[in-house]
């Protein structure tokens, strides 16, 4: 949960402005706790929430790229919770069901609270502790992760291919796989290598050949408490159904090109500067700063992960990026989902 104080200055202000911001901060934190302890009740509120969730589920199901990603995750994560759909069937949920969920999940034992504020840290901590002490401290819901993902370098099953028929004007090619044996020290170079590949796809498939509506390549990684990294790779391209075969061949060609590519210092510098610029824009508002801390703690057990990642990227050499790209981002064991 993040609470934004609404003011985007760097240093603390003085006088009435400071008083206003502190009162706003107190009100914001209190509001978050109030929504957690006393959510809107009654059948009307439940019906509105159920309708909103069903609309989101329908939008997700109608997107060829989203449908392809969901199918890909079921393939690479088997029956683990990471393969589950974000939006499930909520048509039969009752108010009692939601209260049980609130009591178990909105619990101090499994919450991360991040606050970005110009106020002194001791003052913020006192405010958070005082407000969140209203939450019940009963038994929290246990972590639901299923079987742990393998972190050692293992050979996955051979490349698989699935087809989903939605009958829509737009289709999608989705590819990916688990990345096993990723070392924590390789994560910055891996992210830079993937960013280059994503840029290259956009340059060739969209700008030069006009084959894609939207596309991207992503490496999603996280670290457990013991320091082991689990990660997976997703490539998704939205295109017309008649272009699906051409796009798939185009991606495969770019993967072959990528496997032989040697990064130069200028390429690495350009990618790092672009990533740094994007993160700086995200960090301008207070809510972006709070979000980065919360996500860093949740996925990496490090609230300063974003800043540490940028600093590690800045120190990379072209050789390190080349090695990481070839070590992890290859075509072996790739799962392919075609949505038409």
Is the separation of the CB atoms in 170 and 213 below 8 Å? yes
Q: Across-strand partners of 164?
A: 339
| Class of residue 292 by CB neighbours under 10 A (exposed 0-12, middle 13-18, buried 19+) | buried
- The pLDDT value given to residue 206: 95
Regions of the chain where pLDDT drops below 70: 1-22, 79-84, 138, 140-158
Give pLDDT tens digits for 123-139: 888 988 888 888 877 67
- For CA atoms 286, 117, 279, 238, the dihedral sign is negative
- The pLDDT value given to residue 1: 40
- The pLDDT value given to residue 46: 84
- The pLDDT value given to residue 340: 93
Give pLDDT tens digits for 141-166: 666 554 455 544 444 556 789 999 99
> Looking at the whole model, is its pTM more than 0.75?
yes
């Amino acid at each position: 949960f993040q609470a934004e104080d609404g003011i985007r200055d760097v240093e603390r202000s003085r006088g009435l402005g400071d008083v206003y911001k502190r009162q706003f901060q107190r009100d914001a934190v209190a509001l978050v706790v109030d929504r957690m302890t006393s959510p809107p009740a009654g059948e009307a509120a439940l019906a509105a929430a159920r309708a909103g969730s069903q609309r989101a589920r329908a939008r997700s199901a109608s997107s060829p790229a989203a449908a392809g990603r969901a199918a890909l995750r079921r393939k690479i994560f088997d029956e683990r919770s990471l393969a589950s759909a974000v939006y499930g069937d909520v048509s039969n949920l009752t108010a009692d069901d939601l209260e049980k969920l609130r009591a178990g999940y909105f619990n101090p034992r499994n919450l991360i609270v991040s606050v970005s504020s110009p106020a002194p840290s001791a003052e913020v901590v006192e405010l958070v502790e005082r407000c969140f002490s209203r939450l019940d401290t009963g038994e929290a819901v246990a972590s639901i992760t299923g079987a742990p993902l393998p972190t050692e370098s293992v050979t996955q099953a051979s490349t698989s291919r699935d087809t989903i028929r939605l009958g829509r004007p737009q289709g999608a090619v989705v590819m990916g796989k688990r990345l096993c044996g990723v070392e924590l020290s390789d994560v910055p170079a891996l992210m830079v290598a993937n960013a280059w590949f994503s840029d290259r796809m956009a340059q060739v498939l969209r700008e030069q050949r006009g084959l894609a509506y939207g596309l991207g390549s992503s490496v999603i990684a996280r670290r457990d408490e013991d320091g082991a990294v689990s990660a997976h790779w997703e490539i998704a391209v939205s295109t017309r159904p008649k272009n699906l075969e051409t796009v798939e061949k185009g991606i495969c060609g770019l993967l072959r090109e990528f496997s032989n590519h040697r990064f130069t210092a200028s390429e690495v510098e350009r990618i790092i500067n672009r990533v740094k610029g994007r993160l700086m824009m995200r960090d301008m508002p207070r809510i972006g700063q709070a979000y980065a801390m919360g996500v860093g703690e949740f996925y990496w057990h490090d609230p300063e992960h974003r800043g540490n990642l940028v600093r590690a990227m800045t120190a990379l050499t072209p050789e390190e990026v080349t090695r990481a790209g070839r070590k992890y981002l290859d075509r072996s064991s790739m799962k392919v989902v075609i949505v038409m």
